[in-house]
Structure 1
């Protein structure tokens, strides 16, 4: 059974990821099996935790580039603009995911037994 919630990626580079060759290779199948399952304990929580951790990393990168821009140490202003846009989109994605989870929980709580 495939996971109804796909892993969230915020454009982070995957060059350091080991074991991923191509989509048809066996390593690609093994890495797809490593996606947390929503059937087991903590599957959905692991997805949410990973999303928040990725969000924190993206925002940290944008903050450091903003500091470099403010001090005049930034070589290319495009790097900051890209990082800040990526952080904004990541925040919007996590907030939307949270709102959907809260709405689903609220709907479940309204169900009559």
Structure 2
């Protein structure tokens, strides 16, 4: 199962004077040396999970940065923050739902009888 189609949601926001780009395109992670995105589909499940968490962290950091700019009056367009905050919220909800399903599946596997 792949959720790469969610990346297309990044097109509904516009990069404004703040440089905000929703769901930024995949970039190489210097710490791990792996590239996110289409190449990650051929990676292991663990790499896909780490990639998803890295993306979630990036979306949340972007929303946090815009929140600070809005609070200090440096943000020209408040809708940039609203969009980023909504993306962060939805991304977190999706991540939690996937985690819950994975834990539920693991629990179900552990309850199975062998033999």
TM-score by length of 2: 0.69
Please tell me whether the aligned partners of residues 60 and 88 of structure 2 are also in contact (alpha carbons under 8 angstroms).
yes
Give, in whole Å, the separation in 1 of the partners of 2:87 and 2:111.
Answer: 36
The structure with the larger Rg is 1
Q: Deviations over 1:5-52 (max 9, x none)?
A: 3446363244x88xxxxxxxxxxxxx85x3434xxxx72211111111
- 1:18-57 alignment, distance < 5 Å: 34-37=39-42, 43-57=44-58
Pick 1 or 2: higher relative contact order, CA cutoff 8 A, min separation 6: 1
Total equivalences in the alignment = 91
Corresponding position of 2:2: 5
Supply the RMSD in Å over aligned alpha carbons.
2.3
How far the C-alpha of 1:95 sits from its partner, in A, is 0.4
Give, in whole Å, the separation in 2 of the partners of 1:108 and 1:59.
Answer: 33
Q: Secondary structure at the match of 1:36?
A: helix
TM-score by length of 1: 0.70
